Structure formats: C-alpha cells, structure tokens
Chain A
Amino acid sequence: MADEPIVVAEALRKRFGATQALDGLDLAVPAGTVCGVLGPNGAGKTTAVRILATLADADSGRARVAGHDVAAEPDRVRARIGLAGQYAAVDEKLTGRGNLRMFGRLYHLSRRDARARADELLERFGLTDAADRQVAGYSGGMRRRLDLIASLILRPQVLFLDEPTTGLDPRSRGEIWDAVRGLVADGTTVLLTTQYLDEADRLADDIAVVDHGRVIATGTPDELKSSIGDRLDVVLEDPESAPGAAAVLHRLSGAYPELEGDRLSAALTRGTVRLADAVRELDRAGVAVGDVALRRPTLDEVFLRLTGRPAEAAAGEADPGGGSGHESGSEREAAGARRKETVR
C-alpha cells in the first residue's frame, strides 16, 4: 500500500499514575517526509515516540510503523526504525568505532559488515578523526552525532529523533540539521520532537502541535502561520506612547497587541490591514513611530496562540505532567522567556 502513511497513530492513550500522558493522540506521517512534533515539556511527545519505537505499550489505540503494528510485531518494527534520543545513548567507555561495531553486531550484521558499516558512517558524518578515541572525551555535539549514526546502521525506513539538539550549541545543532537533511534526501522518513520552533521551521515538512497528550493542530509551517493571520509590528520612538499606539492597533486589528521592548505587535485577526492606514492612524493619534511593518507570524507566535504559552516558557516548566494551561506574566518571566506583556 503505497498510500498508507509510514507512521500512523490512532487514538493513542497512555496514563502514568495520575498523569494522562497521551489522551487520544492521532498522527500520520507520509513516507519520505519530516514530521515535527512540537509541544511543551510534558505534552506527551516523548511518550508518543516511545510507543512508536516499541519501547512502551499504549493503554489503548493503535500504531503502525513501516507497515507493522508496534504492539503485535515489535521485532519487525525494530528492524525498520532508528531511535536517537535526548541522551547520547552510547557506551562512553568504548571508542566511537567500538560503539558502532558493537551496535552493528547487535543488529546481526556479520563481523565484516559491521566493521565496514561503522567505517562508512564515521566517514560520512565526519567522525573518522575521533573514531578511535573514547566517547567520554567527545564534545556534546560529537556524542549526539555518534548517537544519531548509531541509529542509522540498518538504514532505517523511519528515524525517530527525540529532541536531537536539546542542549547543543548553535554550530553542533547546525551539524545535526545537515545530517538529518542528508538522510531525508536519501528517502528516510523522520519523526522529530523538539521544543525549538526554529528547528521545526527549518526541518519539518509538516508539524503536529501536541499539548496535553493530543494533537491540537497540524499543517505545514506556512499553513500554521497563515492560520493565525499576519502581524502588524510598530516600533515606538517613545515608550511612553505605548498605550496610545496600542489603542490604535487594537482598533485596526481587533487584537490586544503585545509590547516587547519598544516594539508593539498585534495579530491581524480580522483579515489584513493596509500599511498606509496604519501609518495614518498612528500619526493622527500623535504616536511617533520608528517603523511600521506587516509580517508573517513566527512559529513562536503560532505556538503561543495554540497552547496559550510561549514555547520557551513552556519548555522551562519542571512539571512533567504538563502545565496547567495558563500562567501569569511573572511566571513567564521566571521561566526565562522573553519579556512580553499584553497591553490592554
């Protein structure tokens, strides 16, 4: 069946004690695409990946990966998937090459094939120089790359990446992104969970936004951005004029604008606004502006709208059961998010 998505989840539920980690999660990933699963900590992303990768059983619901049911035929699924996680799941005491040879043998490659495959992957992902050093001495980015290539030994049809770049510096993150793009070019389907919206924006063909154990929105990054409308941004010359400018923007857009530094930003919930009208109205209200611009929303703004929380604040929550769904401005600040306030 060429048309069946290569990863299908139907109404997955999973409860851990008092926490409903998954609450009817549906997902469909077409072959050869990158699906970004976005959501705050505790939204159920990792639980979903663990079920799809046969590490955990769902309480109810069905999931098929590469044409096989994860509960009924876990071995067939395992032979067709790769899993790389937040933790570099390699043996720190072995060398990079030693790790890959061991995992190759555990995938039941012959000794010779396991060696050849290890050399090939090290070469392709630029780890040949470090191959014979102990992993304990690797940088965070190198470990993550080794973890990634350990999941590629069998050329998986589906690769699950659970927050592959969390905690990495921008350069290492770029290297992982390049590696993922290369795999997709080879035809691998990638399901990627992430808290970083720019990561999803750059890598994913489709995005599924997950909150409280279910998918609350799906679409391409563009579709998701269009769904919440464009933004009108105004840079104020004088911060004191914010209330007056906010009133103008509210009248034009129908939304309550957010103030970030000297920039006011409002979602255009009632369709678009002509830039000239905005400039004239602001001028009439006596607001001196440095810049007025119409722009597409960022995924951050999409995320904020859909989940009621900014992505980074949500990511900072310690509560593994997911946030309560609302939060005050002070909590947002405490969570280290950018300081934004809604001006009413």
Chain B
Amino acid sequence: MTAPVLPAPPPSWSGRLRWTLTDGLTLVGREVGRIRQEPGELVAALIFPAIMVVLFGYVFGSAISVPGGGNYREYLMPGLFAMVTFTSTMAVTMRVATDASRGVMDRFRSMPMARSAVPFGQTGADILSGVLAMVIMAAAGLLVGWRAHRGIVPTAEAFLLLALMRYALGWAGCYLGLMVRNEQTADQLIPLVFPVTMVSNSFVPTGGMPAALQAIADWNPVSALTAACRQLFGNPGAPAGDPAWPVAHPVLASVLWSVALLAVFMPLSVRTYQRRGR
C-alpha cells in the first residue's frame, strides 16, 4: 500500500498563507459537494426569497402606500435583498454549530491544517449561496416589475454592498456558531433573526412607528442597507424630512457596518476556533 508523502508544516508565513488559502478553498469545495448531494435543500433555500417577493409584493403591498409615491414592489425589492442578506447569517451559524457538535471541528483541529482556514472556509462557502440567492431574487424581482434605474455602475455597487454585508455577517454567524456549539440551539435562534429584519424600513416606512421603535429601526443596519440599495437602484422610498444619520448616508453607513462587523468578528472567530476546548 502506498504511503502518502508526509507534508511538512510550512516554515514561512507565506507558506502558511498558502495553506490557509488552499484549505479554505477545500472547505468551499466541500460546500459544493454538499449541494451536489442535496440539491433539494438549495432549491428550498432559493425558493424562499422568491416566495417573499410574491407574498410581500402582492399580499402586503396591496395595502401599503409608498412615501413619495411609486410602485410598492419597486420599494420592496431592496428591502428583500437586505432581509435575505441578514437572515443568511444563520445558515453559517448552523453549519459551524453542526460541525462543532458532530465532532467534525475536532477532526479539523487534530489535523495539520492552517488554523484560520476553517472560519475562512465556512464564511467563504456562504458566498456561493449568497450569489445564487441574489441571482434568483433579482430574477423574481424583474418578473414582478422591479428595475434598477441608475445604470450599470450603481447597480453593481449595490450588489457589491450586499455581498460585503453578507460576508461580514457570515463572520458574525460563524462566531455565534462557535459559541453555541450545538445545532439544536442554533436552530432555535433562527426565528429570532426575522423580527430584527422586520423592525426596519425594509417593508414599511418607519415614519409611522412609535418613536422608540422608529429610532431602533432607523439605526438598524438592515435599514441602512435597504436605503443604500434603494438609492443605488433608483427605487422609490428615499427618506424625507430630517432622517437619522445612517438612513441619510446609507451607503457609507452600510460600508461602516460591514467593516465594523469584520473588525470585531473576524479576529474573535479565528481566536475562538483556535482556542476551542483549551
């Protein structure tokens, strides 16, 4: 029987970086393998946003009037993009918590892998499903009459902003998964994300909310991301009067939120992964 060559641990930091990248890519490839085994799960995950388009666009939309006028479904789509971005956090939490509770993470940690490859791989794998989700959402939006009105560059900026926020939130989800370490607990957290996305400007204008709730909604990162997408897509619902700072400067606020999330949760996740059980 052939014995594989024992790979030496890389001596230099560049070697370590290479291992981090290749190991991270292997873990992204694992995600592709999982999707190939269970395509139904992906379809279910992608149908959800499409259902939301129909549900909110036609059921709720029929009773909501857009501030400053305009088509409600045009108003809605940026909110749905933002909502799906935020709820996707829990998918990463689930994957990480499942690995931790099933012992897969212990196996990774007993192997000569790059230490930060696992959190990088787990968050990187989520980009795949993120891109697919955005494509499906955009297609569903186009079907119901949503359009991006400001040309290619602002549209690309909006999608980049969504991707950046999703990646940053993935790290928060990764940290949460490392902390709960239990797939049942992670499962129970999922419904909690939903109200967080609802207390925002995604589906209804915040003007009609009670003052305290309105303050929360205005400072909710979901609102900043939604407002940024509305601005970049040229969809209706621009804030009127004297809006809170994040809603008045939504693109900058979204970038700042993402950077802050990454700055906090990247080191926290890597450190927690490395020190788990020590």
Task: Tell whether A and B belong to one assembly.
Answer: yes
Q: Which residues of A contact B (CB under 8 A)?
A: 50, 53-57, 75-76, 78-83, 85-95, 98, 102-109, 113, 116-117, 120, 124, 134, 150-151, 153-155
A75 & B2 in contact (Cβ 8 Å cutoff): no
Q: Considering the chains assembled together, what is the distance between the CA atoms of A116 and B9 in angstroms?
A: 22
**Distance in Å from the Cβ of B27 to the closest Cβ of chain A?**
8
Contact of A108 among B106, B108, B112 (CB under 8 A): B112
Given contacts A76-B9, A88-B103, contact A106 B108 (CB under 8 A): yes
**Distance in Å from the Cβ of B35 to the closest Cβ of chain A?**
9
Q: Is B1 an interface position by the 8 A CB rule?
A: yes
A120 & B1 in contact (Cβ 8 Å cutoff): yes
Q: Considering the chains assembled together, what is the distance between the CA atoms of A317 and B69 in angstroms?
A: 68
**CB neighbours of B22 from chain A (8 A):** 105, 108
Contact of B9 among A79, A86, A106, A124 (CB under 8 A): A79
**Distance in Å from the Cβ of B122 to the closest Cβ of chain A?**
12
**Distance in Å from the Cβ of B225 to the closest Cβ of chain A?**
31
Q: Considering the chains assembled together, what is the distance between the CA atoms of A150 and B33 in angstroms?
A: 17
B6 & A94 in contact (Cβ 8 Å cutoff): no
Q: Is B7 an interface position by the 8 A CB rule?
A: yes
Q: Considering the chains assembled together, what is the distance between the CA atoms of A304 and B156 in angstroms?
A: 71
Q: Considering the chains assembled together, what is the distance between the CA atoms of A108 and B9 in angstroms?
A: 10
Q: Is B188 an interface position by the 8 A CB rule?
A: no
| Pairs of residues from A and B, 5 with the lowest C-beta to C-beta distance, nearest first | A89-B103, A87-B103, A75-B9, A108-B7, A78-B112
Q: Is B214 an interface position by the 8 A CB rule?
A: no
Q: Is B241 an interface position by the 8 A CB rule?
A: no
Given contacts A107-B7, A108-B7, A116-B2, contact A81 B110 (CB under 8 A): yes
**CB neighbours of A90 from chain B (8 A):** 104, 107
Pairs across A and B, CB under 8 Å, 21 listed: A55-B278, A75-B9, A76-B9, A79-B8, A79-B9, A83-B110, A85-B106, A88-B103, A89-B102, A89-B104, A90-B107, A93-B38, A98-B37, A103-B111, A105-B26, A106-B111, A108-B19, A108-B112, A116-B2, A150-B107, A154-B4
**CB neighbours of B19 from chain A (8 A):** 108
A55 & B277 in contact (Cβ 8 Å cutoff): yes
Q: Is B23 an interface position by the 8 A CB rule?
A: yes
B26 & A106 in contact (Cβ 8 Å cutoff): yes
**Distance in Å from the Cβ of A26 to the closest Cβ of chain B?**
21
User: How many of chain B's residues have a CB under 8 angstroms from any CB in A?
Assistant: 34
**CB neighbours of A81 from chain B (8 A):** 110
Q: Considering the chains assembled together, what is the distance between the CA atoms of A79 and B111 in angstroms?
A: 7
Residue on A with the closest CB to B117?
A106
Q: Considering the chains assembled together, what is the distance between the CA atoms of A50 and B278 in angstroms?
A: 9
B278 & A56 in contact (Cβ 8 Å cutoff): yes
Q: Considering the chains assembled together, what is the distance between the CA atoms of A11 and B85 in angstroms?
A: 51
**Distance in Å from the Cβ of B119 to the closest Cβ of chain A?**
14
**CB neighbours of A78 from chain B (8 A):** 110-112
**Distance in Å from the Cβ of A332 to the closest Cβ of chain B?**
31
Given contacts A50-B277, A102-B33, A103-B111, contact A85 B103 (CB under 8 A): yes
Q: Which residues of B contact A (CB under 8 A)?
A: 1-9, 19, 22-23, 26-27, 29-30, 33-34, 37-38, 102-104, 106-113, 117, 277-278
**CB neighbours of A75 from chain B (8 A):** 9, 112
A55 & B109 in contact (Cβ 8 Å cutoff): yes
Residue on B with the closest CB to A89?
B103
**Distance in Å from the Cβ of B87 to the closest Cβ of chain A?**
21
Residue on B with the closest CB to A74?
B112
**Distance in Å from the Cβ of A246 to the closest Cβ of chain B?**
48
**CB neighbours of B3 from chain A (8 A):** 155
User: Which of A79, A83, A106, A151 has its CB near the most chain B CB atoms (within 10 A)?
Assistant: A106
**CB neighbours of A107 from chain B (8 A):** 4, 7, 111-112
**Distance in Å from the Cβ of A129 to the closest Cβ of chain B?**
18
Q: Considering the chains assembled together, what is the distance between the CA atoms of A87 and B106 in angstroms?
A: 10
**Distance in Å from the Cβ of B115 to the closest Cβ of chain A?**
9
Residue on A with the closest CB to B41?
A93
Q: Considering the chains assembled together, what is the distance between the CA atoms of A105 and B7 in angstroms?
A: 11
Q: Considering the chains assembled together, what is the distance between the CA atoms of A66 and B96 in angstroms?
A: 31
Q: Considering the chains assembled together, what is the distance between the CA atoms of A79 and B6 in angstroms?
A: 7
Residue on A with the closest CB to B35?
A93
Q: Considering the chains assembled together, what is the distance between the CA atoms of A95 and B102 in angstroms?
A: 16
**Distance in Å from the Cβ of A140 to the closest Cβ of chain B?**
14
Residue on B with the closest CB to A135?
B37
A53 & B110 in contact (Cβ 8 Å cutoff): yes
Q: Considering the chains assembled together, what is the distance between the CA atoms of A80 and B7 in angstroms?
A: 10
**Distance in Å from the Cβ of B71 to the closest Cβ of chain A?**
41
**Distance in Å from the Cβ of A146 to the closest Cβ of chain B?**
12
Q: Considering the chains assembled together, what is the distance between the CA atoms of A276 and B29 in angstroms?
A: 73
**Distance in Å from the Cβ of B100 to the closest Cβ of chain A?**
11
Contact of A153 among B4, B23, B38, B277 (CB under 8 A): B4
**CB neighbours of A105 from chain B (8 A):** 22-23, 26, 29
Q: Considering the chains assembled together, what is the distance between the CA atoms of A299 and B44 in angstroms?
A: 54
**Distance in Å from the Cβ of A71 to the closest Cβ of chain B?**
10
B29 & A102 in contact (Cβ 8 Å cutoff): yes
**Distance in Å from the Cβ of B178 to the closest Cβ of chain A?**
14
Q: Considering the chains assembled together, what is the distance between the CA atoms of A81 and B112 in angstroms?
A: 9
**Distance in Å from the Cβ of A72 to the closest Cβ of chain B?**
13
**Distance in Å from the Cβ of B150 to the closest Cβ of chain A?**
41
**Distance in Å from the Cβ of A265 to the closest Cβ of chain B?**
40
Q: Considering the chains assembled together, what is the distance between the CA atoms of A94 and B106 in angstroms?
A: 18
Q: Considering the chains assembled together, what is the distance between the CA atoms of A80 and B110 in angstroms?
A: 10
User: With A80-B6, A120-B2 given, can you name 9 additional A-B contacts, CB distance below 8 Å?
Assistant: A78-B111, A86-B103, A89-B102, A94-B30, A103-B107, A105-B22, A105-B26, A108-B19, A108-B22
Contact of A154 among B2, B6, B27, B104 (CB under 8 A): B6
**CB neighbours of B1 from chain A (8 A):** 120, 124
